[in-house]
């Protein structure tokens, strides 16, 4: 598997699947979630509402992942995952690792072989960037998956540097 980090906007990525740092409601929010729904159009929200009406009436649990259409984004699918808040201290690193692992498992089921991830939990959910980068890099490296390309797409330079350092990328 090829793993890389770039600084950029995840809504512009031409990959099979982009991952959304969603919340349990699946009904949108701010940050990367807001950007994905805004750029991807109403089809994504419609698909999320259908999930809430069928398999996910209670919402999506922290650490889990589920796919929808990517609407008007250049990607084919959006994989929604729910990161832990940093303040929910119990098991947070395992839950964050689970977001990456479960997203790759969902990617395999589509099947998607190229996946772009944002820095899940490091915005509104306040996970420290260096810690989150370590968890993310380890989870992806250790995942058993058919995904061939993982691209971490980091919005700001500080976050990009943390992920690049963790991947040994300069």
Positions that interact with ligand AR6 (CB under 6 A): 9-11, 21-23, 29-33, 35, 83, 118-125, 153, 155-156, 159
Query: Which H or E element spans position 107?
Result: helix 92-109
Collapsing DSSP to helix, strand or coil, 66 comes out as: strand
The beta strands (E) that lie in the chain are given as 2-7, 17-22, 65-69, 77-82, 114-117, 149-154
CB of 129 vs ligand AR6, minimal distance in Å: 7
Minimum distance of ligand AR6 from residue 84's CB (angstroms): 9
* Nearest to ligand AR6 of 104, 132 (CB atom): 132
Nearer to ligand AR6, 28 or 43 (CB): 28
Q: How far is the CB of 159 from ligand AR6 (least distance, A)?
A: 5
| Residue 33 is among the residues annotated as catalytic for this protein | yes
Of the candidates 122, 134, 124, the one whose C-alpha atom is nearest the C-alpha of residue 162 is 134
Instruction: Choose, from 33, 94, 130, 156, the residue flagged as catalytic.
Output: 33
Q: Which residues contact 52 (CB under 8 A, 6 or more apart)?
A: 25, 26, 27, 59
Active site (catalytic) residues: 33
């Amino acid at each position: 598997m090829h793993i890389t980090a770039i600084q950029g906007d995840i809504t512009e990525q031409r990959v099979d699947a982009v991952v959304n740092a969603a919340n349990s409601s699946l009904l949108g929010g701010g940050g990367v979630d807001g950007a994905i729904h805004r750029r991807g159009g109403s089809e994504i929200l419609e698909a999320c509402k259908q999930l809430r009406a069928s398999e996910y009436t209670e919402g999506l649990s922290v650490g889990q992942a589920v796919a929808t259409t990517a609407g008007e984004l250049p990607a084919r699918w959006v994989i929604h995952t729910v990161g832990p808040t940093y303040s929910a201290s119990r098991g947070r690193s395992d839950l964050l690792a689970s977001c990456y692992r479960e997203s790759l498992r969902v990617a395999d089921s589509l099947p998607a072989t190229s996946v772009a991830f944002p820095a899940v939990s490091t915005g509104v959910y306040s996970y420290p960037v260096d810690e989150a980068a370590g968890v993310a890099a380890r989870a992806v490296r250790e995942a058993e998956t058919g995904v061939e390309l993982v691209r971490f797409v980091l919005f700001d330079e500080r976050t990009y540097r943390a992920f690049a350092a963790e991947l040994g990328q300069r």
